[in-house]
Amino acid sequence: MKEIKRATPKMPSSRAPVAALFSAVFLSGPGCGGGDGAAVSPAPAPAPAPAPAPKLTLSGTVAKGKALANAQVSVKCASGSGTATSGSDGRYSLDISAATLPCAVRARSADGTETYYSVLAGSGAGAGSSTLNASPLTELVVARLAGSSTASYFDAFGASSSVSSASVSQAIATVTSLLAGKVDLGTLNPISDPLVAASSGSAGNAHDQQLDALGAVLSTARSSVAELSAALAVSGATPAVAKMLLQPAAVACPALRSGSIRLINPRETDPPWKAHVASFDATSMRLTLFNGQVVTLPAADAGTPCSYTFGSNRLMVSSAGLWFLFNSENGSRPMAFGLPEQTLPVAEFAGVWSTLWTGTDRQGGIEGVYTEPNETEFDASGTQTASRVCINLTPCSSDTPRARIASNPAGGFDALVSGSALARFYMFKSPGGELLMLAAANDASSWLIGTRTVAPKVSTMSNASAKKASGEFAARTMCERVEIIDLAMP
């Protein structure tokens, strides 16, 4: 009988198909364990790492003609801030993450005696590198840009701050114009142009030399960067107000400066002498009048550095630079005022003024010289919109406003009533921003002096007394309470 052999199944020759089969069975259908049959998803890919926040790098030089080493530099942006300390060459650098423009910088010298501010214009996220110098020139730019104290501007800087490139360019142009003839800045951008400050063993670049030149001008003028900054902040569109502080000053009296002086004699009837422009040289102490006459001032009076006596004349100068001249022998025209010549717009008259009027009048059947405090108000076009008269101790009464102020090509302003010029007004704006008006009637019968109204610093007084106090305040402002009571006694 033929032997029958059992067939033997052929085994797979490779383990790969077995593994594939095992995987297929494992991943499909329910198994012995009674699973739910859901497909198993692969693990999710890890989330990408967040992009680093944009970084703003600020660097520059802190200098005043020489490097300010170890200056404390603080930067505030619309969002974000940073600090740094300058090196021996005045250089600093710092990074601010996630900064939002604009930014402002404050650089304070190591001894705390000098502080300069600067700005970086722009908006939105700040990234990349920018140069931001801090110097006397950037301080002046920020003063003009802010229109206020640079320290207050920096303190308030934050999310709501806005600084455009156009506004910074305009501020730089104003500073360039202000310094023209004293320091030629040309096309210099003091904020971003390279500044290499003079330091030990290293000379400064041309930018630094401009800082040296400004320092020399201020030294001759006996002024400071802080004073010039404050004046520029309040000068508005009239840089001549700040320009006063760049003029050479007398050795004994810093307020007595070179320049054109408008001399006004309210009681003078001869037009050339009533209000003319003289020239004063503080270096030689020579005053040249309109007719070529030269007067050389003597040394200052002992114990009174801004008072000068020559013959029967006495000149007193206020710290704002106003002149008061008194002649003890000229009974009919005993005094004159001197205002540093400025060209101011009519709009500066806008507001309420306390005035002290003095003139010849007839009251109660008696003719004599009378003085009364009044209050008047103008709008920006120079139109008088209100007038209040206070006579003796009676209550103040409203008067009909009639005048309109118009610029006079020869200087000052005409007070027009029904189209006729009855008086010439002059205005002076001090480096601190205070305004003073002085007017003289064309017929020499009266004159007035006035300042912006200030509330009397007393607890209780009658209306008439309050007006009198306001008027007296206006008079005192002229020469800052120095023998000014004489102003009311022509």
Q: How far is CA 271 from CA 151, 263, 328, 445, in A?
A: 47, 12, 22, 14
Same domain, 327 and 362: no
Same domain, 182 and 318: no
| Greatest mean pLDDT range, 13-22, 104-113, 481-490 | 104-113
Pairwise CA distance, residues 274 & 271, whole Å: 5
Same domain, 87 and 217: yes
Residue type, 376: T
- Contacts of residue 173, defined as CB under 8 A and 6 or more positions apart, other chains included, come to none
Query: What was the pLDDT predicted at 20?
Result: 39
Query: What was the pLDDT predicted at 474?
Result: 39
Same domain, 219 and 308: no
Give the three-class secondary structure for 151.
helix
For the stretch 392-422, pLDDT in tens is 667 778 888 889 999 999 999 999 999 999 9
Structural tokens at position 254 = 């810093």
Query: What was the pLDDT predicted at 392?
Result: 65
Find out whether 86 and 115 touch, Cβ atoms under 8 Å: no
Q: What is the dihedral of CA 168, 174, 178, 184, to 10 degrees?
A: 70
Residues spanned by the domain of 302: 259-340
For range 230-256, the mean pLDDT: 89
Same domain, 376 and 427: yes
- Contacts of residue 254, defined as CB under 8 A and 6 or more positions apart, other chains included, come to 222, 223
The CA-CA-CA angle for residues 333, 337, 342, to 5°, reads 145
Query: What was the pLDDT predicted at 72?
Result: 98
| Greatest mean pLDDT range, 54-58, 212-216, 477-481 | 212-216
Find out whether 378 and 345 touch, Cβ atoms under 8 Å: no
For the stretch 76-122, pLDDT in tens is 999 999 999 999 999 999 999 999 999 999 999 999 999 999 999 99
Same domain, 310 and 210: no
**Structural domain ending residue among the three candidates 312, 340, 368:** 340
Question: Where would I find the H helices in 353-455?
Answer: none
**Is 379 part of any domain?**
yes
Contacts 24+ apart (CB under 8 A), 300-309: 300/250, 300/252, 300/253, 305/252, 305/253, 306/252, 306/253, 306/255, 306/256
pLDDT greater at residue 349 or residue 30: 349
**Structural domain ending residue among the three candidates 340, 362, 393:** 340
For range 237-249, the mean pLDDT: 87
Query: What was the pLDDT predicted at 40?
Result: 63
pLDDT greater at residue 453 or residue 67: 67
Query: What was the pLDDT predicted at 49?
Result: 65
Same domain, 429 and 481: yes
Query: What was the pLDDT predicted at 53?
Result: 66
Same domain, 405 and 434: yes
**Is 317 part of any domain?**
yes
pLDDT greater at residue 23 or residue 442: 442
**Is 120 part of any domain?**
yes
For range 206-221, the mean pLDDT: 96
Q: Which helix (H) or strand (E) holds 315?
A: strand 313-317
Share the mean pLDDT of the chain: 83
| Confidence bin at 16 (pLDDT 50/70/90) | very low
pLDDT greater at residue 409 or residue 50: 409
Number of neighbouring beta carbons within 10 Å of residue 151:
14
Query: What was the pLDDT predicted at 190?
Result: 98
Pairwise CA distance, residues 275 & 294, whole Å: 17
Same domain, 80 and 215: yes
Same domain, 377 and 453: yes
For range 332-355, the mean pLDDT: 89
Is the link from the previous residue into 102 a cis peptide, with omega within 30 of 0?
yes
| Confidence bin at 22 (pLDDT 50/70/90) | very low
Domain containing residue 363: CATH number: 2.40.128.10
Query: What was the pLDDT predicted at 374?
Result: 87
Question: Where would I find the H helices in 275-364?
Answer: none
**Is 400 part of any domain?**
yes
**Is 43 part of any domain?**
no
For the stretch 117-171, pLDDT in tens is 999 999 999 889 999 999 999 999 999 999 999 999 999 999 999 999 999 999 9
Same domain, 221 and 273: no
**Is 46 part of any domain?**
no
Query: How many separate domains does the chain show?
Result: 3
For range 231-243, the mean pLDDT: 83
Instruction: Please tell me what DSSP assigns to residue 439.
Output: E
**Is 445 part of any domain?**
yes
Burial 431-462 (b: 16+ CB within 10 A, else e): beeebbbbbbbeebebbbbbbebeebeeeeee
Pairwise CA distance, residues 90 & 98, whole Å: 26
Query: What was the pLDDT predicted at 23?
Result: 39
| Confidence bin at 213 (pLDDT 50/70/90) | very high
Burial 74-100 (b: 16+ CB within 10 A, else e): ebbbbebebebebbebbbbebebeebb
**Structural domain ending residue among the three candidates 218, 234, 250:** 234
Pairwise CA distance, residues 140 & 188, whole Å: 14
- Contacts of residue 244, defined as CB under 8 A and 6 or more positions apart, other chains included, come to 231, 257, 259, 321, 340, 431
Find out whether 134 and 118 touch, Cβ atoms under 8 Å: yes
Number of neighbouring beta carbons within 10 Å of residue 257:
23
| Confidence bin at 199 (pLDDT 50/70/90) | confident
Query: What was the pLDDT predicted at 127?
Result: 85
| pLDDT for 472 beyond 80 | no
Query: What was the pLDDT predicted at 369?
Result: 64
For the stretch 300-339, pLDDT in tens is 999 988 999 998 999 999 999 999 998 877 666 678 999 9
For the stretch 420-439, pLDDT in tens is 999 999 999 998 888 999 99
Structural tokens at position 282 = 């503080």
Same domain, 336 and 350: no
**Is 239 part of any domain?**
no
Q: Alpha-carbon torsion 252, 255, 257, 263, what sign? A: negative
* Closest CA relative to residue 128, chosen from 188, 57, 227, 233: 57
| pLDDT for 172 beyond 90 | yes
pTM, to two decimals: 0.78
Number of neighbouring beta carbons within 10 Å of residue 168:
22
